[in-house]
Structure 1
């Protein structure tokens, strides 16, 4: 694969550092991305006796960035062998990729581990390449899901970037037409890319060339990778920074940009693409390209090395607003993006597909799948395995999930030329999912707690779902999550200290139980029958009296202290009697006692507004069967003679 590196090469190539004068011509060629000529110049320096680490790095890079892994391996191997202590972690990473590119997986695994050990915490790829959880062997052992077929439209040049358009296929090709016969791209001595239209056969297995896609869009330079609006009357496409002249940054580099155009009819009734314009988040100083419109047409995903990128190139997303406006770009985060290259996004209603060399793979770019959780939050990407992925570059994946058919690009050796487009049929393997459930209980009493707000979060802190515990304290999240993934559950309820728990889901499809315990904010606060109450000692009154005795005041002062500690707390006071006096008498007596209790709390500095009510219920709310004329023990009658302090706000 040659052309697709354009968008990422600027960042990666800066690793080489400032050029020494003795490599000036070679470095100038390299900076222009004329890798074939640059490689010859570096090798000429080596032939003349220069065996420095710098020239081995540069020679290896000239092949590496041109996806010639045999050439890259040759010079990286010299670098590693002759300068083992000086070599930087980045070159160990590239060496491991070159080994994968020539099929030396056992050696590649060894050097991946060395890269991880040397990079440590300085490089986010280190953990992914440590192979502590997933190894190259695990990826090689993935059950094959894809049957591939090389398309008839492929040429000896680069053909890639397929995208569905109506019932047809738009793709990029460096086919050697007469228009480009005298114009070659010095990177790889191929013609420049243009967009073409192909007809997909009924079986979705092959494509035949129809014509050039659009004379209005194609220019003298590169056009590639497109996506369409929901009504297919607006196109987004990648092009060199070109508006009649090539735009360059201060270092003379021509970056990629995203453009849009609108389908209209001319005076003769012919449809043409007009209003070609740059998207507002382009820049002369970095590249933007590889568009993918979401299925609902509301978001545009793309690739860039703009400020805020995690690695060489990242996947970003913007909201498509009215009147040709867009939101600010948002990085998809380090679950998707790595220190390496993430490219060629394709989004469906269920998943994000993309190519990456930053996640562990089989070599070069591999295709990954990340299942959708909530808006722009995805599960950890999974490698789709061989034969879809190979030891070289595999990318540009698109799919019709209802048919399990699609297209993918690769520069594997078995192709017709450089990059080729392949059709595929997928036999999907059941995706591993987990459902999270659990219950909430009081840590002291074990009583299940209802009405608790329970939230499920991804490891990056994005809220996935919220649930409320039922009468038995149980909860169940509806949204399925990934297997072997890290998540967090939090639990919040008024009157309780909040709690949270980090956990990892099981590795097989099923359910993960996450129980949580809560404690009240104070030991005096308890929950009874779904109500929070202040539990103090029994409030005793003299016979037929309602004034507050000294022993009762000691207990009520505990409430005063608690309400002072929690100045937003509000309560209701309820007084009750047993059934051994006339009903009306008990009702009146309990009401006087409730109001006397409120008056006492107010006398101790508790604002009366914080005591929402003070009501006596007499014997109307007995908590046992000791009703009129039913013989009961004194202890049973005592259970009914109670004052309750119900918390309404805290």
Structure 2
């Protein structure tokens, strides 16, 4: 998301210092560069001095001259230090791809950063990946985090998870509470229809906000005719606030135009909110008077401004009292009753890079002191773009465990006490940045922005319509010890009678869903993954509501041969066809096992139950699980402490004792041999 992740609040609220360097000392507008260098008279100094006026083709010719590569690296580093990342990225690419310059850690890191900060995740991945391969021991944690974001953004989720795990081990971090809370894919309870809007430009369009019968939004679209003032970070025009009318119930927008000359200036304006009566606007702007102002750290910070509608015209904007010259404040959103404002800041005392705060808005227009929303909302990462409804806060965050980049979360609460944020899931979220989410009062329609693949520009605005999938079950499956998501865990849904209804696989975040089920009905959800103990849950659907569940699977631990005392033969315990009941003969064999356990208090037990191959494989997994549980229940009922039974696992038809697999003709006796429970006694 080239504009607000990177423009607002990135790297200590971004040095919009770069934008000060993008204009001349008297703030004159900059015409597009059209000059070129005479090839016959050009020398190395000319090439470097005018490199931003050269096409890639001409620049490539000069790269063959001796000494040019080193000078170009110096020039790229100069641009990088000024945060002119669009130009530094171009030069780094030329040097790395077309010269024999040494691929140093610094060069690869800055090349990756230049693309990362301008939203080109594919190219950023290329250089970060080479950096990690060559210098993994020396790569900073911050760069590793950016590397994992490019991995997610390019669809390499397994690699991203592996690198993230290594980073946590390096930091000796326990899994933070907020990083566990992907246990409800809220959007899975709905059919979400999204649409890329016609008002989008080749540049960045984002931060939609409801206003009357339309919306206002932020855009870097170039609306001037002859000259364009450009922001050197991305080499795009500065941001202004635009308005557009809603065309139909599907959320299409039409007739985009600049919002107000009283609001828009020659620098950045974006991320706005309105009072309930639409007569006051709050918006984010660079801190400037006649010139851009910088804080103690040399950075031009952001501030929230307010303007009032007087006789149909917006008044001169005034900055709010809780702004500062030394840190940034922005992304305002106002509660439906107009009494509270939520906003984003990197002010001291927060939990992460940027946090969400709240202030009370008093009837006289004054404000209370800002209050941090706390750890249930804010993490060590970025929390941005809040949007408040009656009792729900929506926001975006690049915290771990998401789909990649910024993801949209929701948190329900009362009196500024909010629950832990829940990821909205796909298709609202993607592997790229998804942010500035707004939804109407009915909770059915809205807009958000994304730089996902397939868009028209750098950031595009999308409309969405939610159609409820009533009586849905949404779930999350994770590893019990680490509580990390178990991708591609097999999930099966059974009826109360044991009939297999649906099967699915957990996604990269461990999420899954079953939609359009019967209301007030009992179901069984079975989660299974190779190398883990199965888990089953009894779930009852609610009428016109979704039900969320979480399942945590424990890893099967290998037992050293020396600890195995005895393994009973499979024939010791048999089951009737399609049954998990303990027969009289099986009870006699189990009584022998119980006697052994009672006589040897130092023994523990593992139970493994199986089926024959007849019937669906998923159903057989459930049946074997029931057999394992009934076996365990019988043993416990005879006086054995349940804590001595380490595991009771069903393996379905995976471990047949003979060739009687699907399609192989076998006698009833041969099939019966596979319908068994096995036991392993383990000495402490």
Alpha-carbon spacing, 1:227–1:141, altered in 2? closer, same or farther (3 Å): closer
**Distance (Å, rounded) in 2 between the aligned partners of 1:119 and 1:244:** 46
Q: Contact 2:152 / 2:431 at 8 angstroms: preserved in 1?
A: yes
Match of 2:467 among 396, 411, 427: 427
Q: CA deviation at 1:180?
A: 7.8
Structure 2 match to 1:253 = 299
Q: Relative contact order (C-alpha < 8 Å, sep 6+): which is higher?
A: 2
Q: CA deviation at 1:211?
A: 2.7
**Distance (Å, rounded) in 1 between the aligned partners of 2:347 and 2:540:** 38
**Distance (Å, rounded) in 1 between the aligned partners of 2:190 and 2:472:** 16
Structure 1 match to 2:410 = 369
Structure 1 match to 2:171 = 119
- The 5-angstrom pairing of residues 196-275 of structure 1 reads 196-265=242-311, 271-275=312-316
Q: CA deviation at 1:44?
A: 5.8
**Distance (Å, rounded) in 2 between the aligned partners of 1:78 and 1:359:** 23
Q: Helix, strand or coil for the counterpart of 2:199?
A: coil
Aligned pair count?
A: 424
The one-character-per-residue Cα deviations of 1:51-109 (angstroms, maximum 9, x if unpaired) are: 33233222222222222111221111112111122223333222111111011122222
Structure 2 match to 1:278 = 319
Alpha-carbon spacing, 1:429–1:380, altered in 2? closer, same or farther (3 Å): farther
Structure 2 match to 1:321 = 362
Structure 2 match to 1:444 = none
**Distance (Å, rounded) in 1 between the aligned partners of 2:91 and 2:217:** 34
Tell me, yes or no, if structure 1 residue 7 matches structure 2 residue 59: no
Alpha-carbon spacing, 1:111–1:57, altered in 2? closer, same or farther (3 Å): same
Alpha-carbon spacing, 1:368–1:236, altered in 2? closer, same or farther (3 Å): same
Structure 1 match to 2:346 = 305
Q: CA deviation at 1:351?
A: 0.7
**Distance (Å, rounded) in 1 between the aligned partners of 2:13 and 2:191:** 33
**Distance (Å, rounded) in 2 between the aligned partners of 1:177 and 1:356:** 31
The one-character-per-residue Cα deviations of 1:443-465 (angstroms, maximum 9, x if unpaired) are: xxxxxxxxxxxxxxxxxxxxxxx
Tell me, yes or no, if structure 1 residue 85 matches structure 2 residue 86: no
**Distance (Å, rounded) in 2 between the aligned partners of 1:125 and 1:67:** 28
Runs of 5+ unmatched residues, structure 1: 15-20, 266-270, 434-505, 512-650
Structure 2 match to 1:538 = none
Tell me, yes or no, if structure 1 residue 386 matches structure 2 residue 387: no
Alpha-carbon spacing, 1:99–1:261, altered in 2? closer, same or farther (3 Å): same
Q: Helix, strand or coil for the counterpart of 2:379?
A: coil
Runs of 5+ unmatched residues, structure 2: 16-70, 474-537, 548-684
**Distance (Å, rounded) in 1 between the aligned partners of 2:118 and 2:356:** 22
**Distance (Å, rounded) in 1 between the aligned partners of 2:420 and 2:177:** 14
Q: Contact 1:180 / 1:192 at 8 angstroms: preserved in 2?
A: no
Match of 2:446 among 406, 413, 431: 406
Tell me, yes or no, if structure 1 residue 191 matches structure 2 residue 191: no
**Distance (Å, rounded) in 1 between the aligned partners of 2:358 and 2:469:** 29
The one-character-per-residue Cα deviations of 1:392-450 (angstroms, maximum 9, x if unpaired) are: 111010001415000010111211111111110013467999xxxxxxxxxxxxxxxxx
Structure 1 match to 2:456 = 416
Q: CA deviation at 1:236?
A: 0.1
Tell me, yes or no, if structure 1 residue 169 matches structure 2 residue 215: yes
The one-character-per-residue Cα deviations of 1:501-533 (angstroms, maximum 9, x if unpaired) are: xxxxx998899xxxxxxxxxxxxxxxxxxxxxx
The one-character-per-residue Cα deviations of 1:105-127 (angstroms, maximum 9, x if unpaired) are: 22222222222222333xx8766
Higher CA-based Rg: 1
Q: CA deviation at 1:272?
A: 0.7
Q: Contact 2:411 / 2:419 at 8 angstroms: preserved in 1?
A: yes
Structure 2 match to 1:549 = none
Q: CA deviation at 1:203?
A: 0.7
Tell me, yes or no, if structure 1 residue 39 matches structure 2 residue 89: yes
Alpha-carbon spacing, 1:217–1:424, altered in 2? closer, same or farther (3 Å): same
Alpha-carbon spacing, 1:428–1:308, altered in 2? closer, same or farther (3 Å): farther
The one-character-per-residue Cα deviations of 1:544-566 (angstroms, maximum 9, x if unpaired) are: xxxxxxxxxxxxxxxxxxxxxxx
Q: Contact 1:161 / 1:172 at 8 angstroms: preserved in 2?
A: yes
Structure 2 match to 1:566 = none
Alpha-carbon spacing, 1:23–1:254, altered in 2? closer, same or farther (3 Å): farther
Alpha-carbon spacing, 1:407–1:195, altered in 2? closer, same or farther (3 Å): same
Tell me, yes or no, if structure 1 residue 356 matches structure 2 residue 397: yes
Alpha-carbon spacing, 1:324–1:28, altered in 2? closer, same or farther (3 Å): farther
Alpha-carbon spacing, 1:12–1:327, altered in 2? closer, same or farther (3 Å): closer
**Distance (Å, rounded) in 1 between the aligned partners of 2:471 and 2:346:** 32
Match of 2:334 among 289, 293, 316: 293
Of 216-225 and 56-65, the range deviating more from structure 2: 56-65
**Distance (Å, rounded) in 1 between the aligned partners of 2:450 and 2:134:** 33
Q: Contact 2:198 / 2:252 at 8 angstroms: preserved in 1?
A: yes
Q: Helix, strand or coil for the counterpart of 1:3?
A: coil
The one-character-per-residue Cα deviations of 1:288-312 (angstroms, maximum 9, x if unpaired) are: 1111001111111111111112111
Alpha-carbon spacing, 1:134–1:260, altered in 2? closer, same or farther (3 Å): closer
Q: Helix, strand or coil for the counterpart of 1:83?
A: helix
Structure 1 match to 2:122 = 70
**Distance (Å, rounded) in 1 between the aligned partners of 2:359 and 2:186:** 35
Q: Helix, strand or coil for the counterpart of 2:317?
A: strand
Structure 1 match to 2:80 = 30
Q: Helix, strand or coil for the counterpart of 1:94?
A: helix
Match of 1:346 among 368, 387, 395: 387
- The 5-angstrom pairing of residues 583-602 of structure 1 reads none
**Distance (Å, rounded) in 2 between the aligned partners of 1:281 and 1:60:** 36
**Distance (Å, rounded) in 2 between the aligned partners of 1:160 and 1:397:** 9
Alpha-carbon spacing, 1:247–1:104, altered in 2? closer, same or farther (3 Å): same
Q: CA deviation at 1:188?
A: 1.5
Q: CA deviation at 1:386?
A: 1.0
Q: Contact 1:120 / 1:126 at 8 angstroms: preserved in 2?
A: no
Q: Helix, strand or coil for the counterpart of 2:162?
A: helix
Q: Helix, strand or coil for the counterpart of 1:421?
A: strand
- In the superposition, the TM-score normalised over structure 1's length comes to 0.60
- The 5-angstrom pairing of residues 440-455 of structure 1 reads none
**Distance (Å, rounded) in 2 between the aligned partners of 1:407 and 1:390:** 15
Structure 2 match to 1:491 = none
Q: Contact 2:190 / 2:468 at 8 angstroms: preserved in 1?
A: no
- In the superposition, the TM-score normalised over structure 2's length comes to 0.57
Q: Helix, strand or coil for the counterpart of 2:236?
A: coil
- CA RMSD in angstroms comes to 3.2
Tell me, yes or no, if structure 1 residue 52 matches structure 2 residue 104: yes
**Distance (Å, rounded) in 1 between the aligned partners of 2:150 and 2:176:** 17
